[in-house]
Amino acid sequence: MKVLASAIVILLPVMVSALPAANSTPTPATPQQLEGRSLFCNPWVADTLIFRMSMDNFQNARGIGIPFDCDWTSDGCSLSPDKPAGFDFTESCYRHDFAYRNTKAQNRFTGTMRKSIDVNFRKDLYNYCRQFATASGWFNSRQARCRRVADFYYVAVRRFGMLKAEGKAGGVVGGMTLSKDSVLNMELDEDIPGQQIPEVWENDDSTVNIQALAQA
């Protein structure tokens, strides 16, 4: 466990420092960029975990709770089954809950931030569905069905958020009733003038070899 923890401690500063400015091309972190980087759950680190880190690496960080002061709690896919039609969306729901809880704790859970988080949730679901593609890369019926279910989840998340904004928490979408403790019942923070919202990019930390770090 100590070895894996060390691996993640190394990994997170690498990914945090690799976070690009808008419209820039991701570049590898340099030792100079890593100097002075802390491993606290500040907005920069949270955004990296939410928007820039691959799902595998996010789940590794979540498994040992690093950074320790982040809120890693989750009730899974609170608005519907975690595994609809045989598709396991649990990990995507874990990251979605993480994003809501930690941006809320940082007082930047605005309507704009929530939309970006929800779009990132859909991207995570689509990435999960890619495993059902054929060898040639073309869609097959199972991948298409997975994406349709993913679209339904995204629409439901967006709709429940709008019901909350309209003061109608606990409403019903597609026959599903939201639990009162769901993150989708969170109150939005006031808009922040000039708030910087990370773009939803494809995760680019694939060059980070966790196995190699663990053996270092």
User: Does the active-site annotation cover 96?
Assistant: yes
Q: Is 2-192+209-215 in CATH node 3.40.50.720?
A: no
Structural domain boundaries in the chain: 2-192+209-215
pLDDT, position 25: 42
Single out the catalytic residue among 96, 104, 108, 159: 96
Reply yes or no on whether the pLDDT at 215 is more than 80.
no
Q: What is the pLDDT of residues 136-162, one digit of tens each?
A: 666 678 888 999 989 988 988 888 766
- What is the distance of C-alpha 53 from the center of its chain? 8
Q: What is the rounded average pLDDT for all residues in the chain? A: 71
**Which of the listed ranges 32-41, 56-65, 120-129, 192-201 does the model predict with the highest average pLDDT?**
120-129
pTM: 0.70
pLDDT, position 146: 92
Q: What is the pLDDT of residues 73-122, one digit of tens each?
A: 998 886 666 566 788 999 999 999 999 999 999 999 999 999 999 999 99
Q: What is the pLDDT of residues 3-46, one digit of tens each?
A: 334 444 444 444 434 444 444 444 333 223 323 445 688 999 89
pLDDT, position 109: 93
Reply yes or no on whether the pLDDT at 216 is more than 50.
no
